[in-house]
Amino acid sequence: MVATLAGLLILGQILTAWQIVGFTVALGALVAGQALNRRS
């Protein structure tokens, strides 16, 4: 039971980390797209 909870906790942290990475990449792409649109 403890091992299962620990596994879920680690998995949750990994998923959260990937969500943060994905959000950062999406945000960066959005900002870059706006900057390119302003230049042209």
* DSSP symbol at 1: -
Q: What is the pLDDT of residue 22?
A: 95
The helix/strand count (H/E) of the chain reads as 1, 0
Check the CA dihedral 5-11-14-16 and report its sign.
Answer: negative
Q: What is the pLDDT of residue 21?
A: 94
Report how far Cα 15 is from the mean position of its chain's Cα atoms.
8
Blockwise average pLDDT, block size 10, the chain, 40 residues: 91 90 96 90
Q: What is the pLDDT of residue 39?
A: 83
